[in-house]
Structure 1
Amino acid sequence: METVYQEPPRPIQDLRVTVHDTSLVFPFKPVPNKPFFLSNIDKVLNFDVQTIHFFLAHVEFPPDKVAERLKAALAKILVHYEFLSGRLKFNAVSGRLEIVCNSEGVGFAVASSECSLDDVGDLVYPNPAFEQLVTKSMDILQPDNQPLCIVQVTSFTCGGFAMGISGNHATFDGLSYKMFLQNLAALAADKPLAVDPCNDRWLLAARSPPQVSFPHPELLKLDVPQGQDSSRPLVFEDTPEDLDFKIFKLSPKDIAHLKEKAAKDAGSSGGPDSPYPKVRVTGFNVVTAHIWRCKVLSSCDGADGGSSKSRSSTLLYAVDIRSRLEPPLPQGYAGNAVLTTYAMATRGELEEWPLGRLVEMVTEGAGRMTDEYARSVIDWGEVNVGFPHGEVLVSSWWRLGFADVEYPWGRPRYSCPLVYHRKDIILLFPDMITSSPNGGDGVNVLVALPSPEMAKFQSLFHKFLA
């Protein structure tokens, strides 16, 4: 086995960033001024997400020219994504969160760092200093009038630069955000849109009347007084904790080994006589099953006489529903089209079951997400206020492909989320080199836990990988 975790490097603590200019970018042509409907999936995701895209120096595109190109491309793209230059508002009459398409603009900032990209070091490893590469709010605007998107271009002394983007998750999911980046890159190169966006969120509206046709143990109902703004659930607030964090690196060879272990559990033929004939052995499924087991067992201290073995654990992970609906959503659907599915097992089962059985549980969770089940979840959100709730959430940025977007100045050296450490959330994201000679790709697993639990997680990670 290869080295499976990376000791924290000593990242530079201060990138010495100076913001030179902030402004607003408006659509270069008028867009309709009207309320913009948000689906029940969108409204649960009313929180900001930041991504950072690092680029090496390019002779033809120094950072100042990149900033000019991006600013012009943003003005063009806002015509195609008319909601993006609007503002979130809570409609007290309908009791719904919506976007007012008032063309009040997106934010744009130009900054410079006194460091080079070599000074920054390992771009894969989360660095608190990366916050300096993102503008999260515009000081020139009131708190209730902030843009849904802010772009910051930060130049480094080596000629490289970072594009940091802060955006409200209600606007995009990972796949539609990649399409947005592809379109932004195309317009920056004076090319046609790569994908025509479909902005019709009514495609994921609840049925009338709502029909909650399945139990939904993955969803937690909140008691919110009628008419009260519940558009920012407290579940997304960070709780201060003293956490260690590590990145566990799984190489293509490691992942192939896990897949081989799981396939053996399913029987060599995978036929009807095998113990787990339904198991779908994919990279995501085996990695998720592996870290679910390690995470849950790392919190068992053994001092309860074994009673914790009967306690149930709920694993949550996202499933794209675009192709699962009848009819499928348009290819360019520009909103949130992912729902959280789940797998459940007791701690005793997670300890005793072979990997193939756990992979089957993860597979069944994704298979549960049919058209009818997805519609039931959406309808649940129409009659209830709540959110997905479980013990472990696996958030995967592994294969979203942000680093594959081709800009006029080349592809990003690396693309990553701005990471906030939460013990209940495990992040999967790609390595700097995403492909290998055998056609596989590795993954980085970011884990944040209290120190004693981290030591146990690390031991279990080795144990179950062997």
Structure 2
Amino acid sequence: MASPSPSLSFTMRKCQPELVAPAIPTPDETKLLSDIDDQSYLRFHYSIIQIYQNESSMANKDPVRVIRQALSRALVFYYPFAGRLKEGRGRKLMVDCSGEGVMFVEADADVTLEQFGDNLQPPFIYSKAFLCDVSDSEDIKKLPLLLIQVTRLKCGGFVVSTGWNHVMADGAGLSQFMHAWAEMARGMKTPSISPLWRRELLMARDPPRITCNHREYDQIQDTLTSSNHHLVHRSFFFGPAQMAALRRLLPHHLRQCTAFDLITACLWRCRTKALQTDADEDVRMMCIVNARNRFRPPLPIGYYGNAFAYPAAMSSAGKLCASPFAYAVELIHNVKGEVTEEYMHSVADLMVLKGRCMPTTVRSCLVSDLTRARFRDVDFGWGKALSGAPAKGSTGPFYGGTHIVSYKNSKGEDGLVLPVWLPAKAMQKFVKEMDDMLSGNHQNNPKTTAPAFIRSNV
């Protein structure tokens, strides 16, 4: 298999996929997913790519064998992942805990980490070669819930790709599973965090009732005929200089806001200007919020189901673009606070009452903060990953979805990476708007720093 980029060619040898089952028999039962889990938006496989370098102390260990055996042991504790989905009345999803196993592919690539150079930064542009070959049109109910490929590299490093059906877990839940899997690889007998199913905690109430305002699910007429085709991608690195430049645009009372607030507000503003949205049209920025600690008491430790909401900050495009940067930052900060235990119950009820409806994609963007998922920290015995991030730059069913991940660049700077997909002409405008924000030009301030564009590819 050839690499997807003409700048570097390599061949990939893949063995036939196999099913890895739990190491010992596990309960044969059916488990209902929650009404947060089985919403339509989450019915797809989402892939994480982790890239590891050679470790001299592991010279006699085969990463494929170690990781495969550890996976079998981890599935004893996370046995629902070894089952298959079933759909009941009202499109209700459940897991048939059949123990059939998860898909596992062993592979070898005749390439070294050094040859990839700076292209290791997320999203890894060669990721397609390292993913399990599964058609996007495949019925998710027939597919294994985990699709895993471990690829050895010529230098002794390796790449682990994990595709998981999003209805089973969110980023935090997958991270919990992956850390348990890595603990098994390092010789532990049981996970340090015991997994809990407890999906009844996020089931719709009886009777269901929508008690909160959910702008993220508004059904909006799209008056444009624009196409999502011919998109280009850029990734932007926000290191200390870029973050400091954004904070300087804020009044003092906002300068302690989170990095997520800053980057998301910057994206929203620049993207709206780049797409030249009519001034009187409403635009939405949906922010993924982990709700585990919003419950009273918090959801129990070990809960690995989907436990997030994506409330939408909303503004007219004209006001968003004309107002100071602080306006967007405050909208992002405030909307995250809307997520409460009641909000989560209201979302679950909405899913039942409105047929598991999709979020609106019209003039909308969605951002997920994956820095706390700690995918880079997953250690199978070879140390932490050089990179651990989603395989693709976009998230979910529309190109307005993206994520923020941590990364150490070639200069050794720790920072955050934001992938962006836009039509080609809009991307040119986006780059200029980002440049203006980070240089302070839009406020006639002296130039301070330039945007760190990591990569561009069509």
User: Normalising by the residue count of structure 1, what TM-score does the alignment of the two structures yield?
Assistant: 0.83
Q: Is the 8 A contact 1:11 1:127 kept in 2?
A: no
2:68 aligned residue:
71
Displacement after TM superposition at 1:446 (Å): 1.2
Q: What residue in structure 2 maps to residue 23 of structure 1?
A: 18
2:294 is aligned with 1:294:
no
2:402 matched residue in structure 1 = 426
Residue matched to 1:244: 232
Q: Which runs of 4+ in 1 moved over 6 A?
A: 434-437
Could you tell me whether the CA contact under 8 Å between 2:47 and 2:391 is conserved in 1? yes
Output aligned runs, 1:39-438, within 5 Å: 39-44=34-39, 45-62=42-59, 65-91=62-88, 93=89, 95-121=91-117, 122-137=119-134, 145-191=142-188, 192-220=190-218, 241-262=229-250, 264=251, 268=252, 270=253, 281-300=257-276, 308-385=278-355, 386-390=357-361, 391-419=364-392, 423-433=399-409
Contact 1:199 1:335 in 2 (8 A): yes
Q: Secondary structure at the match of 1:379?
A: helix
Match of 2:29 among 34, 38, 54: 34
- What is the CA distance between 1:147 and its match in structure 2? 0.9
The alpha-carbon distance between structure 1 residues 452 and 142, as it changes in their structure 2 partners (threshold 3 A), is closer
In the aligned structure 1, how far is the partner of 2:194 from the partner of 2:79?
A: 13
1:272-310 CA distance string (max 9 Å, x none): xxxx8xx96111101111110000111118xxxxxx211
Give the distance between the partners of 2:12 and 2:205, measured in 1 at CA.
49
What do the CA deviations read for 1:39-86 (whole angstroms, capped 9, x no partner)? 122112110011111111123435962211211111111111121000
Native 8 Å contact 1:246 1:448 kept in 2: yes
Q: CA deviation at 1:356?
A: 1.5
Q: After TM superposition, give the deviation of residue 457 of structure 1 in Å.
A: 0.6
Distance 1:321 1:23, change over 3 A: same
SS of the residue aligned with 1:70? helix
Q: Which letter maps to 1:389?
A: T
Answer whether contact 1:11 1:120 (CA < 8 A) is retained: no
* Count of paired positions: 418
**One-letter amino acid matched to 1:457:** F
CA contact (8 A) 1:109 1:151 kept: yes
Asked if structure 1 preserves the Cα contact closer than 8 Å seen for 2:393 and 2:403, the reply is no
Instruction: Provide the residue aligned with 1:457 in structure 2.
Output: 430
**CA positional deviation for 1:400:** 2.3
Q: 1:214 to 1:337 in 2, by over 3 A?
A: same
How far the C-alpha of 1:97 sits from its partner, in A, is 1.2
Tell me the alpha carbon deviations over residues 118-143 of structure 1, each in whole angstroms, 9 at most, x when there is no partner: 222321154553211111449xx998
| Closer, same or farther: CA 63–427 of 1 in aligned 2, 3 Å | farther
Q: Which amino acid aligns with 2:385?
A: P
Task: Output the amino acid matched with 2:380.
Answer: Y
Cα distance in 1 for partners of 2:120, 2:175 equals 20
Change (3 A) 1:240 1:293: closer
Percent identical among aligned pairs is 28
1:446 aligns with 2:419: yes
Structure 2 residue identity aligned to 1:313: V
Partner amino acid, structure 1, of 2:319: E
What is the match of residue 225 of structure 1?
A: none
Equivalent position SS for 1:172: coil
Distance change in 2, residues 1:143/1:280 (3 Å): closer
Mapped contact 1:435–1:442 kept (Cα < 8 A): no
Q: Are the counterparts in 1 of residues 48 and 389 from structure 2 also a CA contact under 8 Å?
A: yes
Residues 12 and 119 in structure 1, CA contact (< 8 A), matched pair in contact too? no
Change (3 A) 1:377 1:47: same
